[in-house]
Amino acid sequence: MTMEISLIRHGKSKQLENNRITCRDFQKWVEKYDSSGVFQENHYPTETLEKIATANIVITSDLKRSIESANFLNQNIVVISDALFRETELPPFPRELRVKLSPNCWAFILRCLWFFGYSRHCESRANAKQRAKKASEQLVNYAKEHKSVVLVGHGLFNRLIAEELKKMGWKGKRKSSVKHWNCTTYSFIN
C-alpha cells in the first residue's frame, strides 16, 4: 500500500511593509510577519487543491499564516496545529547597526549567518535539522495510520523535512517547492 506525505508552503503574508529598517526594527518586523495572516487568492495550484481535498489528515504549524492557508485551501477540514512544524528562526543581528536595509535584505543576511553557524538567541541549524527529523518521523507515523497526509508549513522547514523523508526512503522531487501555495508530494510503498 502506498502512503503519501504532501508538503505545501503557506500563502503570501499580509505583512508587506518593505521600508528600509534597522536590524533592531527587523526583529519587530518578524513579529508582525509571524502574527499576520495570508492573502486569499482567486486561484490555487490544482495539485495543491487535489492533495488537500483527498488528504485523510491535515497538519499545520501553529503560526497564523500556516493555519489560515490550510483553511483557505479547504474550509471543510479540521487541522492539527503543532509548533513542531514552525519555520526555522532567524537570529538577531550580533550588534546594533545604524544601517537601514529592506526586510528581505536583513532576512537574507541573517539566514546566511545562520547557515554558517551563527544562532545566538535562536534555534541552531543543527537543532533545526534534529527538529526536522522528529517532524518527519511524526508525519510518517500519521501516514502509517491515515495513508495520506498534508502538511501546510513553511519554505525552509519543509525542505528540511523533505531531506529527512528521502533519507528514510520516501520518493519525490529532489527539493520541495518554496513557492507560496505549491505542493511537493513524497510517497512510500509499504
pLDDT along the chain (190 residues), means of 10: 95 91 92 92 95 96 96 92 96 84 94 92 95 98 97 96 96 87 93
Q: Convert 143-155 to b/e letters by CB count within 10 Å (16 or more is b).
A: beeeebbbbbbbb
Whether 139 contacts 152, CB under 8 Å: no
Place of cell 504532501: 6
Written as one string, the DSSP assignment of 23-42 is HHHHHHHHHHHHH--BPPPS
Structural domains of the chain, with CATH? 2-189 (3.40.50.1240)
Whether 44 contacts 179, CB under 8 Å: no
Place of cell 511593509: 17
Model-wide pTM > 0.75: yes
Whether 82 contacts 157, CB under 8 Å: no
